[in-house]
Structure 1
Amino acid sequence: MTSPTHQRPIRLGVQIAPQHASYSQIRDAVRRLEDAGVDILFNWDHFFPLSGDREGRHFEAWTMLGGWAEQTERVEIGTLVNCNSYRNANLQADMARTLDHMSDGRFIFGTGAGWFQRDYDEYGYEFGTPGTRLAALAEAMPVIENRWAVINPPPLHKIPVLIGGGGERKTLRIVAQHADIWHSFGDVDVLRHKLGVLRQHGEAVGRDVSEIEISTEIRRRTESDADALADLGASLFTLGITAPEFNFDAVTRWLAWRDARNRG
């Protein structure tokens, strides 16, 4: 196996889709995944299912994270990703700070510009355009960071900011300015190219982007695919699972890959 070129250990996140399940099923999945040894548990910030029966059961993300914060002891928790459009920036900061305390410093603030039009239409938010939503995210991030600096009590730790998306002109600039983790999409060639763009944005804003952790998804990927992404510098790999049948076998497989990779 090729040795990783990055210094960070490989971590495995699991995104539990908050759809098509009772909350007791989701709670049981959280317990099982923490016991299995995953590093991070994510949900997503939508109001309706994204797959399967589009009228099926679905739960709200931030409220759910409060339950996870109290239920778990070791795993980090967060959304992959929060939709900036749905909540005032100062409120987002306050909610994140509160979850950081509830989880004893295990909260990750994953965020993005939003994209799922049905959420906007049915819940009464203005959908706008990709450009207006990205501009709103860029405007919100300093507000959130400033609120964390003055709120009482402050967060228990520097809350890691995860920003998802790969838009080269706007999203990656926001990543360079504000993110501790960048959640990427695409294969090795795409990631190599995007990392080059991210470095250019880092130079423009005076940021060493090597300090940003690279995250990617592993749905429908092989271990060889993941090895190649890790060799480029990715260190956080996230697998999505959804009801009605959570695929815990896939989690076991990727935990084995993570552990083997970390042993070198």
Structure 2
Amino acid sequence: MTNGNLRIAVQLQPQHAEYSQIRDAVLRAEDLGVDVLFTWDHFFPLYGDPDGKHFECWTVLGAWAEQTERVEIGALVTCNSYRNPELLADMARTVDHISGGRLILGIGAGWFEKDYDQFGYEFGTAGSRIAQLAEDMPRIKARLAAGNPAPVREIPVMIGGGGEKKTLRIVAEHADIWHSFGDVETLTRKSGILDEHGAEVGRDTAKLVERSVGVDGDPAETGEKLVAAGATLLTVGTSGPDYDLSTLKKWLAWRDAR
């Protein structure tokens, strides 16, 4: 839920690295003062050597929950297709407890066909995957509510995606955070569409759904424009093996100077 505070996140992409290098990057990022640590949910690298080193999302999150003390953690974003929704909910509840209530449940419909093909999941169509996400969100929330012990907090749900007719409708119904893929203009236009869906489903999404977006480069060039467009969670991405945090440092310094 939106708290009005600007937050800077980093997505430590679990590719092309030994796990020791990922662990080191987590420590460095938390020490720098980042607000949220994200991984992603794939089985193979998205760029660089397509058969390079890679690690699984939720196992990594369990380790981060123990390793970190202050930051929120999550996936940007979990692929809904890869796990039974009740299982995913129970994994989230467990990581929430391990972390002391610092998990963000990021989720999306899925898109990377290689993951599906190599691991035996049915790829289907974009429409079928989005329909499955819509069907599974109530199941995830029901299982979270039924878990014993209950989650430490009401776990924030972040949905990533920009489909204007279907995905943003699911965001309006279920999300606490919406991750937009695109520039300032895309964020602004689709944010308005999200609020239209919110009015249709009876949620004030302008107040209840935080806007999230990926960032890169110089914050002096785009930072204030994104904030003016409503974004309050800004994520820098970085890949292994080195996990260069220099761009992250710039965005953290910009945050702290505002």
Identical aligned residues as a percent: 61
The alpha-carbon deviation at position 224 of structure 1 amounts to 2.5
Among 192, 198, 205, the residue aligned to 2:201:
205
Partner Cα separation in structure 1 for residue 83 and residue 98 of structure 2: 20
Paired residue for 2:254, among 250, 254, 257?
Answer: 257
What is the alpha-carbon distance in structure 2 between the residues aligned to residue 152 and residue 227 of structure 1? 43
Alignment partner for residue 59 of structure 2, among 18, 39, 63?
63
TM-score under structure 2 length normalisation: 0.97
State the 1:222 CA deviation: 4.1
Compute the displacement of 1:258 (Å). Answer: 1.1
Match of 1:137 in 2: 133
Q: Does 1:236 align with 2:239?
A: no
Unpaired segments of 5 or more residues in structure 1? 1-5
Quick check: 1:100 aligned with 2:100? no
Say whether 1:223 aligns with 2:220: yes
| TM-score relative to the length of structure 1 | 0.95
State the match for 1:3 in structure 2. none
* 1:147 correspondence with 2:143: yes
Q: Which of the numbers 33, 36, 43 marks the counterpart of 1:40?
A: 36
Say which is worse superposed, 203-212 or 112-121, in terms of deviation. 203-212
CA–CA distance in structure 1, aligned partners of residues 224 and 78 of structure 2: 28
Q: Amino acid of the residue matched to residue 254 of structure 1?
A: W
- Matches for 1:16-35 after TM superposition, within 5 Å: 16-35=12-31
Aligned-pair distance for 1:223? 2.5
Distance 2:219 2:254 in 1: 10
Q: CA RMSD in A?
A: 1.1
State the SS of the aligned residue for 2:134. Answer: helix
2-side partners of 1:45 and 1:7: how far apart? 27
Per-residue CA deviation, residues 134-180 of structure 1 (Å, 9 max, x unaligned), is 00000110001111111111101000000001100000000000000
Which residue does the alignment assign to 1:9? 5
Give 2:79's match in structure 1, choosing from 76, 83, 93.
83
Q: Distance in 1 between matches of 2:239 and 2:186?
A: 27
Moved over 3 A (4+): none
* Deviation for aligned residue 1:83: 0.2
Point out where structure 2 has 5 or more consecutive residues left out of the alignment: none
* DSSP 3-state at the match of 2:47: coil
- Size of the alignment, in residue pairs? 256
In structure 2, what is the Cα distance between the partners aligned to 1:115 and 1:227?
Answer: 31
CA distance in 1, matches of 2:184, 2:45: 29
Letter in 1 for 2:226: L
From 169, 181, 184, the equivalent of 1:185 is 181
- Which residue does the alignment assign to 2:117? 121
Separation in 1, partners of 2:44, 2:140:
26
SS in 1 for 2:9: strand
**How has the CA–CA distance of structure 1 residues 101 and 59 changed in structure 2, closer, same or farther, with 3 Å as cutoff?**
same
